[in-house]
Structure 1
Amino acid sequence: MGLFNFSEVATYFFRKKDPNRKTNFNLRTMHFINKLSMSIFLAGLIYMAIKYLF
């Protein structure tokens, strides 16, 4: 049942920063774009669900 384990996705927005990991502009930008695209996708799903139900 590892296929339907969404814990990584659910905790992606609420991770604590690892002080031992080096970060750079490219990595921060990549994570920002990932979070933005997931947020827009979820907003679209919610919009479509509300539009379908009402």
Structure 2
Amino acid sequence: MSVLNQIAQYLYLKKKDPDAPKSKWVGYMHGINRLSILLFLLAMIILAIKLLR
């Protein structure tokens, strides 16, 4: 699976793979990954705004 597909799944832009194993720990991992991606994007937006002013 490509990195872009994984990011799309974390951010709910794409349906999850039905053949993927279902585990609560995988769900926790995906939740933490989703949070880290969103925080990173937020930080990049804030940085871009500060640099453009």
Q: Secondary structure at the match of 1:11?
A: helix
TM-score by length of 2: 0.71
Where do 1:1-54 residues align within 5 Å? 8=4, 11-12=8-9, 13=11, 14-54=13-53
Q: Distance in 1 between matches of 2:7 and 2:26?
A: 20
Sequence identity (%): 35
Q: What runs of 5+ residues in structure 2 fail to find an aligned partner? A: none
Match of 1:22, SS state, is: coil
- Structure number with greater CO (CA < 8 Å, separation at least 6) is 1
Paired letter, 1:29: Y
Q: 1:28 to 1:44 in 2, by over 3 A?
A: same
User: Partners of 1:52 and 1:18 in 2: how far apart?
Assistant: 39
TM-score when normalising by structure 1: 0.70
Task: Give the gaps of 5 or more residues in structure 1.
Answer: 1-5
